[in-house]
Amino acid sequence: MTDVTEVSNVIGEMSKTFEEFKSANDERLERLEKGRGETSELTEKLERIEVDLNKLEDINQEITKANEAQKDVAEKIDQLETVLSRPSSGYDTKSADTVLKSFEKWCRKGKDALDGAELKVLTVGNPETGGYLAPPEYVREIIKAVTVISPIRSIARVRQTTQRSVQVPRRSAQFAAVWVAETATRSETTGLTYALEEIAAHEASALVDISHADLEDTVFDMEAELTAEFAEQFAKAEGTAFVSGNAVGKPEGIMTNGDVAEVVSGHASTILADGLVSLVHGLKADYAKNATFVLNRTTLGSVRKLKDTAGQYVFQAGMSLQGGMTNTILGHPYIEATDMPSEGSNTYPVAFGDFRRGYMIVDRISMSVLRDPYTQAGSGNVRFNARKRVGGQVVLADAIVKQKCSA
């Protein structure tokens, strides 16, 4: 776990970098206002600073779970083990001397100075003349592209269930109190009603066949590898559904619920600072004090450049350590959700709300993996069948509001 000193250093670096960004962006805006246009040097500087901000943003979004010093030690141990496990060259001392002398001659005088025997000694391209003795190094590590997941689960309310669905009572209407005279007759105040929200546990599945030989012979633990892949892909699928799911055989997304209010941005295709201010004030105060912005990385880049009417940037870097978040938008924390739409005509690139009150996730089966050696036995395969049951939907639309790119 990253300690407080490391977090403070990251916050300080983020603040410093963002101050440089504001200075360069202010210069850009000033040139544009005066009709002088941007310079290539200024554009390159801004792009370079944004790259640094994006790197620091990754740290801001998640707390490092391993000490860097420990990682270095582990890597050095792995390197040492690799060196120790390498096969010997197979040459005796006399052969080694011959190779070294031939190599020195080749370095000094070139390939043409070598005779046939010496040239043959140095050839590893031919297996019979030494190629077998110089095997390539096999790295026991699989290169994987990053799987980006929308972390809605981290801000929503999550509960477990042992049933097929969860029913949650909800107050749907209220009565109104009335003023009466001291001795006046009191009449019944009506209007208080309740409704029932039902959240079904939907099922996601993945199925992979792998041969017995591959399971037996591969240098990797393929069962563990598949389990990790299943977990990652289920997390990606549910993250997408929690943002944009249509509630048909899958969870309902925060952006698809028709009761969630919307606030226009003030521009046909982009977000503006004033629009974000209106978005914040479009939410009731009790919800706003615990609210979080949800937007994708591209939109976050646009938000960094926005100023309010007082000339202050709406994005602030390194303001506090509260909640593990170091950066804020209009004083509120934010998360990056890759499944959120980007800016564009009639799109909804930003959501804002108290999602712990407004959105509920229900876990029925976290994840189960069935190892089936029978179904595909005739083909020499083992089938791994993974499944997960999870539901999610907006339970209090008043606690969430979304921004629409519209004038």
In angstroms, what is the C-alpha Rg of the chain?
Answer: 31
Nearest to 335 by CA among 156, 145, 67: 156
- Would you say how long the chain is, in residues? 407
Domains defined for the chain, CATH in brackets: 94-141 (no CATH), 142-180+188-296+337-407 (3.30.2400.10)
Distances, alpha carbon 188 to alpha carbons 19, 171, 172, 193, in Å: 61, 19, 19, 14
| pLDDT value of residue 320 | 47
Measured CA to CA, the distance from residue 12 to residue 114 in angstroms comes to 61
pTM of the entire predicted model: 0.73
| pLDDT value of residue 350 | 98
Distances, alpha carbon 168 to alpha carbons 173, 174, 191, 200, in Å: 16, 18, 20, 11
Measured CA to CA, the distance from residue 383 to residue 344 in angstroms comes to 44
The residues of the chain scoring below 70 in pLDDT are 1-8, 11, 59-100, 102-103, 106, 111, 116-134, 318-326
Measured CA to CA, the distance from residue 227 to residue 231 in angstroms comes to 6
| pLDDT value of residue 71 | 47
According to DSSP, the residues that pair with 392 across neighbouring strands are: 361
Q: Return the DSSP state at 152.
A: G
Nearest to 382 by CA among 224, 206, 221, 223: 223
> Is 113 in contact with 106 (CB distance < 8 Å)?
yes
Measured CA to CA, the distance from residue 225 to residue 382 in angstroms comes to 15
User: What is the token pair recorded at 79?
Assistant: 């390197």
Q: What is the DSSP string of 77-138?
A: HHHHHHHHHSPP----HHHHHHHHHHHHHHHHH-GGG--HHHHHHT--SSGGGTGGGSPPPP
| pLDDT value of residue 1 | 43
| pLDDT value of residue 341 | 96
Measured CA to CA, the distance from residue 334 to residue 350 in angstroms comes to 10
